[in-house]
């Protein structure tokens, strides 16, 4: 009988970083129960699935399987293109603390884009903690360098440009990092976590890391601002890291008791659909994360998983 995901023990927590570095699937730490959204299979659509959910592999293994199911990286990245890979690197935390996107996943995506022919692959985030420490402790800077990508700074205001937000009610204009505006392809790679202000941080909220003044959003209407920002530009692909999920006390976390090992990856071009799957993986309802419904109302995607083609992949032995 499959067991439900459970909190990491301290022994498992201490060992996790080594497991990730080795690319281990960490077998035996997680039961095989599927996330709530995974049973929704929709009518088969022509072409590729609307959403892919992968379970029970290492971050790299799950991405390789997921991107293959979506038609391969070549669908999104063509030869000579510039690519922005946008993870969460907001916190001076190590990979086993799950406050930032898993470095193995980020490196795998960068390498995949390079193999597809990308001329340049850039990675950055507007970090909350000291940027250099976030890059170092998260392991992302080393992973990006090894994969042939380039880390860029997110803490220099001169790199940001003020742009209008067409169709927005709250965000009339916003200062956005030039890489988000100028790169040919944007791959959004959030880590799934609880969040004290927004209830969840996943695909849409991760885009706050390309904005200069995020405090304004918090002061004037966080959910509305999160929902409206993709009117500037939607990512070409969203890859939600739910390998280790911070189910409480996010976005920074307090300790091992906040974490569940779920070994899940969600991929979709539809940012609203990706967040709908993510919120169910977190154990919440879409109605508990207001920016999902608000973004759907703006025509930015769909939360109706039942009517979408969902491909579910298990890498369990």
Residue 287 confidence (pLDDT): 96
pLDDT single digits (tens) 154-167: 999 999 999 999 99
Does residue 3 fall inside a structural domain?
no
Query: Is residue 46 very low, low, confident or very high in pLDDT (cuts 50, 70, 90)?
Result: low
Q: How confident is the prediction for the chain on average, in pLDDT?
A: 89
> Total structural domains in the chain?
1
Non-local (6+) Cβ contacts of 135 within 8 A are: 89, 127, 141, 151
Domain membership of residue 150 as a residue range: 10-314
- Identify the three-state secondary structure at position 237: strand
Provide mean pLDDT across the span 134-140. 98
Does residue 2 fall inside a structural domain?
no
Single pTM value for the model: 0.88
Does residue 107 fall inside a structural domain?
yes
The torsion region of residue 103 among left (phi > 0), alpha (psi -120 to 50) and beta comes to alpha
| Higher pLDDT pick, 23 / 205 | 205
pLDDT single digits (tens) 180-216: 999 999 999 999 999 999 999 999 999 999 999 999 9
- Check: CB of residue 50 under 8 Å from CB of residue 311: no
Burial of 3 (0-12, 13-18, 19+ CB in 10 A): exposed
Does residue 5 fall inside a structural domain?
no
């Amino acid at each position: 009988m499959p067991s439900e995901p459970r909190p990491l023990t301290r022994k498992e927590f201490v060992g996790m970083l080594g497991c990730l570095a080795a690319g281990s699937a960490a077998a035996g730490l997680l039961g095989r129960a599927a996330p709530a959204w995974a049973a929704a299979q929709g009518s088969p659509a022509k072409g590729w699935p609307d959403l892919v959910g992968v379970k029970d592999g290492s971050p790299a293994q799950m991405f390789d399987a997921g991107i293959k199911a979506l038609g391969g990286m070549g669908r999104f990245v063509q030869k000579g293109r510039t690519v922005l890979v946008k993870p969460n690197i907001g916190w001076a935390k190590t990979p086993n603390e799950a406050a930032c996107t898993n470095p193995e996943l980020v490196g795998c995506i960068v390498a995949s884009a390079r193999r597809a022919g990308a001329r340049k692959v850039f990675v950055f985030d507007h970090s909350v903690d000291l940027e250099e420490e976030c890059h170092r402790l998260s392991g992302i800077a080393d992973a990006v360098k090894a994969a042939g990508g380039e880390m860029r700074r997110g803490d220099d205001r001169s790199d940001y440009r003020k742009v209008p937000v067409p169709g927005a009610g709250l965000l009339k204009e916003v200062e956005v990092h030039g890489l988000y505006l100028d790169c040919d392809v944007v791959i959004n790679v959030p880590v799934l976590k609880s969040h004290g202000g927004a209830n969840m941080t996943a695909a849409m909220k991760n885009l706050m890391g390309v904005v200069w003044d995020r405090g304004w959003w918090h002061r004037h209407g966080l959910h509305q601002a999160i929902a409206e920002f993709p009117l500037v530009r939607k990512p070409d692909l969203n890859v939600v890291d739910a390998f280790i999920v911070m189910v409480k006390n996010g976005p920074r976390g307090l300790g091992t008791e906040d974490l569940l090992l779920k070994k899940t990856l969600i991929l979709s071009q539809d940012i609203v659909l990706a967040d709908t799957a993510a919120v169910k993986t977190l154990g919440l309802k879409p109605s508990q994360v207001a920016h999902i419904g608000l973004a759907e109302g703006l025509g930015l995607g769909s939360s109706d998983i039942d009517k979408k083609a969902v491909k579910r992949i298990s890498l369990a032995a």
